Chains A and B, each alone.
Chain A
Amino acid sequence: MIEIRNLTKSFGDNLVWEDVTFRIEDGETTAIIGRSGCGKSVLLKHINALMTPDSGEVLIDGKNIFELDYVGQRKLRQRFGVLFQGSALFDSINTFENIAFPLRYFTDLSEHDIHDKVMAALRHVNLESAAEKGTSELSGGMRKRVGLARAIILEPQYIMYDEPTSGLDPQTADEINELIVVMAEQFDITSIVITHDMHSVLEVADKVAFLDQQKLSWYGTIDQMRQSNQKNLIDFISASEYQIKSKSSI
């Protein structure tokens, strides 16, 4: 379980959010939603200690991760897979090597076993054919899938997605949403999905955390969200729904 408690972060004079508190239960998928620039990515980078807050704590299995030393934090990070917004593939190596990369550095697997694991991961994301491709030859959707294969290769306990569907066409976005659900079910992974795409939220999430006005403005289940009459939440959702409708009418 991940507990985020009274977390506050600012960059210089620029307050990102303050006093953010919520919990992520094991096995659940939590969506963190909010407008762009509201600090979703910054929050994600606190959950695996890539950034340090001004105050507050993040407890994982009861331990405050900001009190760990650097080595402890690095061990902790390996329990997370992260799919970055732009996929963050290493452009100096090909698709196969990108996925094999963590295995080469953090395991003692033989070349044969590495090959098998990488191909299995590629199969999970339906991309076996792309193994030998350079990363620059991949489309946006393919890059996300390679990033996802790399994120799960060390069999993490948690996986975090930073805007996994942004910049993709609706069909490809749906494929990614499906993958998120499959990953969560098949590997029993706890997922955190950052997005401003309500369609994606409805597809994948159990719980929703809404960042707005520099705080955690709303938190609850999908059903609670549908019934909520909190104005800024409704506005955010209806803005997205308008988009969804206009997308499907094209």
Chain B
Amino acid sequence: MNAFKELGKYSSLLYQALRSSTEFSTYRKNLFHELVKVGYDSVPIIILVGIFTGSVMTLQSAYQLQFAFIPLSTIGAIVSESILIELAAVISGLVLAGKVGARVATELGTMRVSEQIDALESMGFNSVSFLVVPRVLAGVMMFPVLYIVASIFGIGGGLAAGYFSGTVPPADFLMGARMYFYPWNVVFGFTKSFVFGFIITSVACYKGFFAKGGAEGVGKSTTEATVLGCIYILLADFVLAALLL
């Protein structure tokens, strides 16, 4: 199928989702489940990603700048700013494309090929409202929260790594982080994570919702959801940087 047709099908699914987002009673229960699955269940991996990103960045910046005559606080500034602007959103996004995107595509794909979606429709459900709306909503609601979690643990991890390696004293790290803190950076990262949450869940829903051809087809749609999710995140990251910076 050509790209235009796919784009048309994707847009029309989103349009249906938008229209049926008023049927709150249909998806209320599912939304709650999804908020837990997308948000709460992702917290451990996001904490891990945050800590490692921050600490590796600190160690590497300290190494790269070890012969430069700059104040140590600069490292705190570089690390915290990079995390807030870019890393907390993008690295979490890529990890969640695997975790959330794959799960959503597999769930919906399995429901499609085993006729569970037809069963829903034949009972009189709006299956888009029942399945797609809560997943996309959970994505746009929880990704920004996860961004905050990743940022806090990223900066915390950087601070701790500087302290334990003896390269950057916490006081210097914090001073740098504070001196170069612009609220705009947080707004920017927050916006990114919102967009990534939308991309990952909507692409995964699309791939799963239109899966066909048994178990093999579900596998294919899961792979595509994950790969496309990653690619679109990187593209969106670029576009947002060009637009907002």
* Contact present for B124 and A45 (CB under 8 Å): no
Q: Does B125 contact A (CB under 8 A)?
A: yes
Q: Which of A17-25, A79-87, A123-131 contacts B (4 or more CB under 8 A)?
A: A79-87
* Alpha-carbon distance A78/B115, docked complex (angstroms): 17
Question: B116 — nearest CB in chain A belongs to which residue?
Answer: A88
Interface residues of A in 50-109 (CB under 8 A from B): 50, 70, 74-75, 77-78, 80, 82, 84-86, 88-91, 101-102, 105-106
Q: Across the interface, which residues of A come within 8 angstroms of B121, CB to CB? A: 50, 77
Q: Does B3 contact A (CB under 8 A)?
A: no
Q: Give chain B nearest CB distance to A71 CB in angstroms.
A: 9
Which of these, A78, A88, A154, contacts B119 with CB under 8 Å? A88
Q: Give chain A nearest CB distance to B123 CB in angstroms.
A: 5
* Contact present for B122 and A80 (CB under 8 Å): yes
Q: Across the interface, which residues of B come within 8 angstroms of A70, CB to CB? A: 126
Chain B: residues with Cβ within 8 Å of the partner, total of 14
* Contact present for B114 and A88 (CB under 8 Å): yes
Interface residues of A in 165-195 (CB under 8 A from B): none
Total A-B contacts with CB atoms under 8 angstroms apart: 46
* Contact present for B126 and A88 (CB under 8 Å): no
* Contact present for B114 and A86 (CB under 8 Å): yes
* Contact present for A102 and B115 (CB under 8 Å): no
Q: Across the interface, which residues of A come within 8 angstroms of B26, CB to CB? A: 105
* Alpha-carbon distance A88/B116, docked complex (angstroms): 5
* Contact present for B114 and A77 (CB under 8 Å): no
Chain A: residues with Cβ within 8 Å of the partner, total of 22
Q: Give chain A nearest CB distance to B131 CB in angstroms.
A: 11
* Contact present for A90 and B116 (CB under 8 Å): yes
Q: Does B118 contact A (CB under 8 A)?
A: yes
* Alpha-carbon distance A124/B122, docked complex (angstroms): 22
* Alpha-carbon distance A155/B1, docked complex (angstroms): 42
* Alpha-carbon distance A186/B182, docked complex (angstroms): 73
Q: Does A30 contact B (CB under 8 A)?
A: no
Query: Interface code B103-141, partner A: CB below 8 Å = 1, 0 otherwise?
Result: 000000011001110110111111000000000000000
Q: Give chain B nearest CB distance to A70 CB in angstroms.
A: 8
Question: B19 — nearest CB in chain A belongs to which residue?
Answer: A70
* Contact present for A85 and B124 (CB under 8 Å): no
Query: Interface code B14-56, partner A: CB below 8 Å = 1, 0 otherwise?
Result: 0000000000001000000000000000000000000000000
Q: Across the interface, which residues of A come within 8 angstroms of B118, CB to CB? A: 45, 50, 82, 84, 88
Q: Which B residues are closer than 8 A to A by beta carbons?
A: 26, 110-111, 114-116, 118-119, 121-126
Q: Which A residues are closer than 8 A to B by beta carbons?
A: 45, 48, 50, 70, 74-75, 77-78, 80, 82, 84-86, 88-91, 101-102, 105-106, 154
Q: Which 10 A-B pairs have the closest CB atoms?
A: A88-B119, A88-B115, A78-B124, A74-B124, A84-B115, A82-B122, A77-B124, A88-B116, A102-B123, A77-B122
